[in-house]
A and B are shown apart, each in its own frame.
Chain A
Amino acid sequence: MPVGTQGTIKGLTNSQLEDIGCQIILGNTYHLALRPTSELLAEAGGLHKFMNWRRAMLTDSGGFQMVSLLHLADITEKGVTFQSPVDGKPMLLTPEESIQIQNRIGADIIMALDDVVKTTITGPRIEEAMYRTLRWIDRCIEAHGRPHDQNLFGIVQGGLDPVLRDICIKGLVDRNLPGYAIGGLAGGEDKDSFWRVVAQCTGSLPEDKPRYVMGVGYPLDVVVCSALGADMYDCVYPTRTARFGTALVPEGVLKLKQRAMADDTRPIDPTCPCMVCKNYSRAYIHCLVTKDAMGSQLLSYHNLYYMMQLSRDLHSSIVEGRFPKFVCDFLSKMFPEGNVPEWVCNAMEVAGIDISSCCTFSERVCNAKVAGIDISSDCTLSSSCGEHDSDNVSDKYDELKLKLERLRNNEDALRR
């Protein structure tokens, strides 16, 4: 689900979203309630009509933004107290109010207000938040005015504690909701804990209801969570990273701001059939990104196309019974050296998918050592370039090219 915070996916028109095959978008209740206000949206016949979006739509509860955007949010049993960004006065968002606002916005899927805590926090606060989320879900169900038009999803909380997650899941499933979300993740926890929570939740949530992992959207995370049995994702990553000049490609990411791109006449992804890759070179996109609106527009288009294509491929490979092969192909493109992260290997083992064919990391390292070259630093280069300034990157790029060439020569020599 591409994120359209304020009633628009940044930089794209509805017709473009339809062209790239987007079926559902997400709106942020908090932003929409501030501007243009839920009352105005209701008057216009709901957000669908207001923005003329004919396909599906989901709104979040607004609770997350309050905690993430506002420093002075205080959560009590009544609701979330926060400082109004308009006049600075303290305001209260209760579960009832969140649902009423979402009823007025009129999305097809609405989210219950949950008590969001950082996953990195430990101690009794996690437990408190989980139980409060369960108490609030009843208030949400009670307040829901349009249960026949809008599907209320409950959110599983409980931090990284399997016992708390289990209590939460049981409590929510008892309420027999139309769908369930796995919340409180993608907030800085380590990947190994992240996938374990997803695996635990998908393992005990009902088979016949959709499962939505909130705030997850890196391509690799989407593939892993899908393998674990999750169905829906949302993330600002594809469009946000586009605005900073990064393209999503099967090999990982491509930083178009790098100086090396200025003379690169290839498309962003030669295997991608999207409008941008069919028409434009990296060199041209390079001169647009982070300077002109068109750079954001074209890269957002490509990145969302990439995510939609990934979702379609996941779907069809599962339907056609070739999902394990798809996962292996995906991983071997992203990690051509075979250095698939350990957490992915662990998650795939639990998901029952054999990825040994693309996990040849240890073997490669041995080979490289024989050739007298340390490849471990190179393997991570593509993902860490962004932290350097552009001058360093171009130097590094040349250095890497040289290294690769040497590696190839050595390999040839070894073969002979």
Chain B
Amino acid sequence: MSLSLSSSLSLPLPLPLSNQFTTTPSLAMKFLVKKARGARVGALEIIHGNNNNNNNNIININTPNLIISTCKGLPHFISPDLLSSIPSSILQVSPLHFTAEGVSTNTVSKLGGLHQMLGLNKYCIVAVPRDSVQCIPQFKGATKFGPSFDTPSGRLLVKPKDYVETISCMKPNIWSALADEVPAWVSNKRNKSSVDRTLKWLDECLALNPETGSIFGAIVGGSNLEERKRCTEEVAKRNVSGYWIGGFGLGESMDERPALLSAITDVLPDEKPRMICGLGLPEEILQGIAAGIDLFDSTYIYTLTLGGFALTFPLDKNGDQHNLQPSEIESDSTKINLRATAYRNDTSPILEDCSCYTCKNHTKAYINHLLNVHEMLAQILLEIHNTHHYLMFFEVIRDAIQDGRFEKFRQTFLESRRVPFQAISA
């Protein structure tokens, strides 16, 4: 396997700052992480701007954190003026949304890239082809030329050359390489070929040497520990700024995940950020964080919002879930379904002590009414609350890691859940 060297984004060898910290300096991105086995906190610094001149914006993101999933660059229901009330500055965009809609990359380029087009200059934009909502990886359609996705406008085959060209026009801060994601049940042979292809496409992307953003190498390998390890080792050899871990949430069981995740993070260098796609539930987030993952996608929030659900699990400092709101109608006590008639007369906010726009201004009864009459405002208010609540969950987790009590937090969280997760998934 040849080692591709990219000059524009070449990363000097990691220089240890102290015994505790290492950094990954690059033109567009810095990552400072506390070295530790397992769960780790870090600070991602994105330098956003055209050149090294004074117009650069610095965007700071604490990790572990959630990347807000979007539809064509904006959260599904939160318009940009409302977005500013949400304490986040990192968004995930699928470049395929635009390809599928017939917006030419030329137009995006003419507008000055995604940041300009979306009016979001203070946000870090992460481009990932898979979004788990509209652009689903379709392993049967993938060929040696590129991965395939099911999109609203049909199946789309994405070749590295076209992808890199799109990325160059869109100018995201971070972008993942192409991945041949396969579900857990495919044969070893198919799994092996998915790793080979993913590595080949990464080399092709690197060889094209786009002068934009930071590339994250894609790691696949399905549910096969050996393949996961092989893929990770190979990607780690290449000149990338971070790692994007794919192939999760595609049929593997909760139980086999910790081993798979460890197989990956054990091999990866500490000083580069790791992003994952397909882990959503609070339990899954904790699994990922325990393995040392830094960034997560938020498709889960979208799914909840569409279903009329609001997150209500306690954000206790120690992870204690015993104070869950008493509820007889919910099967899962992390959330409530505001469609339920029980909330018809409920003039209290979703959570009394929540500081989000929705809880500060509206009652459960009002959202219940909005859901009943199919008004769009229901989804707007729910997406605001759910995103806010999940971001707060990450904040509580970061504090726990910082204080060295993450393992205890995780145990308490899992054990004190009224309905253990195993019972639901069973």
Contacts and interface: CB of A to CB of B under 8 A. Distances in A.
B315 interface: no
Interface string A299-323: 0010000000000000000000000
A287 B72 CA distance: 8
A263 B74 contact: no
A278 B80 CA distance: 11
Interface in A2-54: 6-8, 10-16, 19, 31, 35-36, 40, 43-44, 50-52
Contact of A7 (B82, B97, B361, B366): B366
A211 interface: no
B344 A6 contact: no
Given A35-B369, A43-B345, A280-B119, A10 B376 contact: yes
B380 A13 contact: yes
The binding surface of chain B is classed by DSSP as helix
Interface string A384-412: 00000000000000000000000000000
Contacts of A293: 76-77, 376, 379
A6 B104 CA distance: 39
A12 B372 CA distance: 17
Contacts of A14: 361
A130 interface: no
A278 B372 CA distance: 34
B101 to A, nearest CB: 4
A292 B72 contact: yes
B17 interface: no
A263 B104 contact: yes
A19 B81 CA distance: 10
A334 to B, nearest CB: 28
A279 interface: yes
Nearest to B377: A8
Given A10-B375, A278-B119, A281-B117, A262 B72 contact: no
The binding surface of chain A is classed by DSSP as helix
A52 B362 contact: yes
Given A280-B119, A286-B103, A36 B74 contact: no
B98 A287 contact: yes
B416 interface: no
A11 B377 contact: yes
A257 to B, nearest CB: 12
B369 A279 contact: no
B110 A13 contact: no
A294 B107 contact: no
B76 A283 contact: no
B379 A275 contact: no
Nearest to B380: A13
A200 to B, nearest CB: 38
B266 to A, nearest CB: 41
B103 A296 contact: no
A36 to B, nearest CB: 4
A281 B110 CA distance: 11
A44 B365 contact: yes
Interface in B145-178: 152
A236 to B, nearest CB: 14
A265 interface: yes
A31 B373 contact: yes
Contacts of A35: 369, 372-373
A294 B72 contact: yes
A279 B118 CA distance: 7
Nearest to B117: A284
A358 interface: no
Q: Quick one: which of A263, A265, A284, A286 has the most chain B CB within 10 A? A: A284
A73 to B, nearest CB: 21
A279 B123 CA distance: 14
Given A265-B110, A293-B376, A293-B379, A284 B81 contact: no
Contacts of A265: 107, 110-111
Interface string B94-119: 00011001111011001100000111
B111 A283 contact: yes
Contact of B80 (A6, A275, A287): A275
B184 interface: no
A298 B107 contact: no
B344 A40 contact: yes
B411 interface: no
A83 B244 CA distance: 59
Contact of B366 (A43, A51, A281, A296): A51
B421 interface: no
Contacts of A19: 81
A284 B118 contact: yes
Contact of A40 (B71, B102, B152, B345): B345
Nearest to B362: A52
Nearest to A297: B79
A6 B375 contact: yes
A281 B72 CA distance: 14
A288 interface: yes
Contacts of B81: 16, 19, 275
Given A283-B103, A297-B77, 6 more contacts: A11-B376, A44-B345, A262-B103, A275-B80, A278-B119, A284-B111
Interface of B: 71-72, 74, 76-77, 79-82, 97-98, 101-104, 106-107, 110-111, 117-119, 152, 344-345, 347, 357, 361-363, 365-366, 368-370, 372-373, 375-377, 379-381
Interface pairs A-B: 3 shortest CB-CB: A279-B119, A287-B101, A36-B369
14 contacts: A6-B373, A11-B376, A13-B381, A15-B361, A40-B345, A44-B365, A263-B106, A275-B80, A281-B111, A284-B117, A288-B72, A291-B101, A294-B77, A298-B79
